[in-house]
Amino acid sequence: MQAYLADLDCELQLKPPELEIEETGDTFAANACLKASQVAKVTGQWAIADDSGLQVDALGGAPGIYSARYGSTDGNRIERLLQELGNEQNRAAQFVCAVAIARPDGEIALQAEGICKGEILLAPCGVGGFGYDPIFYVPQQQLTFAQMEPEIKQRCSHRGKAFAQLLPRLSDLA
C-alpha cells in the first residue's frame, strides 16, 4: 500500500502483531472495513486496510473472499483452481480489491473498490508476483500478472484501480 501512497506525506505502519482480526465479512468491502475499523479502534489512529481476491465466473465467483484459504500454498491454490476449472471453456475471471480507511474511532471514512478483468490460463506462465498471478492473464496487457513489470501491474491491477479511486478523495478527510 505504501507504494500507492508514495506521493503523500505519510508512512504506513503494520497493524499491531498481537491484533488478530477474523475476516467474517461476506464481501471484500466488508472485510476491508472490518480490518480498518478494528485497527483504528485499537491504535486510536487513522487506519487503512484492504481485502482482495479472485473471482472465476465458471466457478460461481469462487474462490472469492476465500482466495487466500483455497489451499495451503500458492501452488496448492493454483493447482486446485485449475483442477476445478478442468476443460471449462469459459475462463473469465476478475481480481477485486476493496480498500477502506477508518477514523481513529473506527468509523469508516472512505471506501473504494477496483476490479481487473482477465482470464485463467490452462497452466502457469511467468515467475513474478504471488498467489494466482501466474495463471491470471490480462488481455489488454497480453501478459499474466506474473509476467508484468511491477509498474505496469501497479497501474492496471485491481489494487491499483482501487487506489486510483481513493487517492483523489483523500483531501476530503481533513
pLDDT in tens, 142-155: 999 999 999 999 99
In a domain, 18, yes or no: no
Q: What proportion of the chain, given as a percentage, has pLDDT over 90? A: 84
In a domain, 12, yes or no: no
In a domain, 154, yes or no: yes
In a domain, 149, yes or no: yes
Q: What is the CATH number of the domain that holds 86?
A: 3.90.950.10
In a domain, 7, yes or no: no
Q: Which domain holds residue 67?
A: 28-173
pLDDT tens per residue across span 58-102: 999 999 999 999 999 999 999 999 999 999 999 999 999 999 999
How many domains are contained in the chain? 1
In a domain, 22, yes or no: no
Where in the sequence numbering do the catalytic residues fall? Answer: 51
In a domain, 6, yes or no: no
DSSP the chain: -TTTTTTSS----PPPTT-------SSHHHHHHHHHHHHHHHHTS-EEEEEEEEEEGGGTT-BGGGGGGSSSSHHHHHHHHHHHHTT-S--EEEEEEEEEEE-TTS-EEEEEEEEEEEEE-SS---SSSSTTGGGEEETTTTEEGGGS-HHHHHHHSHHHHHHHHHGGGGGGG-
Over 90: is that where the pLDDT of 55 sits?
yes
In a domain, 162, yes or no: yes
**pLDDT score recorded for residue 58:** 98
Over 90: is that where the pLDDT of 125 sits?
yes
